[in-house]
Structure formats: structure tokens, C-alpha cells
Amino acid sequence: MKLNKGLFISFEGPEASGKSSQILLLSKYLKKSKIPYIISREPGGTDFAEKLRKLILDNKSTINNLEELLLLMAARSNHINEVIIPNLKKGKIVITDRYADSSFVYQGYVNKFGIKRAQKLHKELLNNFFPDYTFIFKINPKEIIKRLKKRKVKNKYDKSNLLFHQKIIQGYKKIANPKRYITVDASLSKDIIHKNIIKKLKL
Ligand code: TYD
């Protein structure tokens, strides 16, 4: 099947919840089906935003919560303008590993900037530009710790403790009610999750 109108999809969830491997499986499926797509990520997705990513996720950075959110939004604005919108206009499926919901949860809820305040900034500064679908991965916090122990390179949030991961999970529960959200049970097998995702997207 060939889509001629773009579709914007984000993947969200706590650290090590299996988003990345699902994005990989989805991209293989789209390639096989000859459906045009691009895979991107946040913070990042453009040369400029990837440079900001390094600063934002640097373990030694001393920026405060507001500064972090503003950098994330600058990176997001660049990502939207240079990658997301142009590719949607070409009729592609745009898949991003994290997007604005991560800011609402990590900076807004967990780092206490305020979910509503972060959402207001997104509305005012980024035109409330949201994905058509957002998959939110649900995982047990103890499982996160277990999976993170296996990671060799850790960003500043990967190093956080059980309580931090519990709060992230709580944050996603708080924002996940409007129509575009689809919850994914990350404890299911990779193959079943993949099939469920394809079914939801009606691809
Ligand atoms: P990444 O290595 O991609 O983590 P994961 O594999 O768990 O997705 O790093 C992205 C990190 O950036 C992740 O810890 C969450 C954080 N982040 C925010 O805090 N706010 C945001 O708006 C975004 C996009 C990411």
C-alpha cells in the first residue's frame, strides 16, 4: 500500500521501555511494504538539534530546568521545520523516538516545571503541532532498572533511580488521555507489540 498523505507518529515512554526496537521493526515493515517513511528522534533529528542534544544530555551540564526546556524547544522547532513538516508534505510517514510529550513528562512533571505550563509553551511557540498517533510504552520500573544495568553508555536520565522512573511512569499516565495516545504493554513479546502497532496504524 502506498500512502499519499503524510502521517506523523511519535514513540514515548520511560527509559529502556523498548521503543527503539519497535521503531526498528516498524521501519523494516514499512520498507518491505514500500511505504515511504523517515525515522527521527528527539532531542535531535537535524544537525543543529543533534548538537543541542549533546549539551542537553551531558552528564556534567549545569543548566537549570527552564534552560533545559528552552533548549529542547529550540531543538524541536528546528526538527519540525527542517525535517517533520517537509517530509509530511512529501507524503512520508514521519516516526520520531520522543517528541513534545517527553518534555511534558520529564521537564513538566518530574522536574516540576509544570505539565500545563510546558503544554502552554508548546501551544504558543510551536503551534500546538502534535503527532497523529503517539504510542506510550508502559513498563514496570524494576524492569527499567534491570534493562538499564545492561547499557554501557548512559545519559543523565539513564542514571536515575527507581523513584525517578516511577515518576516518569506517573507523568505519562497523567498526560495520556486525549485521542492520539495508544498505550503499549511493554511486557508483551516484541513480535506481538509490533503486530499490535501495525494493526493500530491500519497499515
Ligand atoms: P535516549 O537515549 O534517546 O533515551 P531513551 O532511549 O530512553 O529514549 O535519550 C533521550 C533522553 O532525553 C531521555 O532520557 C529523555 C530525555 N528527554 C527529555 O527529558 N525531554 C524531552 O523533551 C526529550 C525529547 C527527551
Within a 10 A sphere around the Cβ of 193, how many other Cβ atoms? Answer: 20
Q: Is the pLDDT of residue 10 over 90?
A: yes
- What pLDDT is attached to residue 4? 57
Query: What is the rounded CA–CA span in Å between residue 42 and residue 58?
Result: 15
* Res 77 pLDDT > 50: yes
Beta-bridge partner residues of 39: 95
Q: Whose Cα sits closest to atom 13 in ligand 1?
A: 157
The secondary structure of residue 113, as a DSSP letter, is S
Percentage of the chain beyond pLDDT 90 is: 86
d(CA 65, CA 50) in angstroms, rounded, equals 19
Amino acid (1-letter code) at residue 164: F
Name all residues whose Cβ lies below 6 A of ligand 1. 15, 19-20, 42-43, 57, 72, 97-98, 102-103, 106-107, 155, 157
More confident: 179 or 132: 132
Cell numbers given for 101: 510529550
- CATH of the domain spanning 7-201: 3.40.50.300
Q: Separation of 1 CA from ligand 1 center, angstroms?
A: 32
Statement: residue 87 has pLDDT above 90: yes
Residue (of 104, 197, 135) closest to 11 by Cα position: 135
Cα→Cα distances 145→150, 156, 164, 193, Å: 9, 14, 11, 21
Residue 99, Cβ density class (10 Å: 0-12 exposed, 13-18 middle, ≥19 buried) = buried
Average pLDDT of 22-26? Answer: 98
Q: Please tell me the distance between residue 13's alpha carbon and the centre of ligand 1 in angstroms.
A: 9
pLDDT band for position 9 (50/70/90)?
Answer: very high
As a whole number of angstroms, the distance between CA 194 and CA 29 comes to 9
Q: Residue of the nearest CA to atom 19 in ligand 1?
A: 106
Q: Whose CA is nearest to atom 14 of ligand 1?
A: 157
Domain boundaries, the chain: 7-201
Q: Supply the mean pLDDT for the chain.
A: 94
Query: What is the percentage of the chain residues whose pLDDT exceeds 70?
Result: 98
Strand partners, 182: 135
* Dist CA 198 CA 32 (whole Å): 13
Find the range with the poorest average confidence among 28-32, 47-51, 101-105, 152-156: 152-156
CA 98–ligand 1 middle distance (angstroms):
7
- Whether the pLDDT of residue 141 is over 70: the answer is yes
How far does residue 101's CA lie from ligand 1's centre (Å)? 11
Asked if residue 55 has pLDDT above 50, the reply is yes
Predicted confidence at residue 2, as pLDDT, reads 46
Give 118-134 pLDDT, tens digit per residue: 999 999 999 999 999 99
Q: Which residue has the cell 536520565?
A: 157
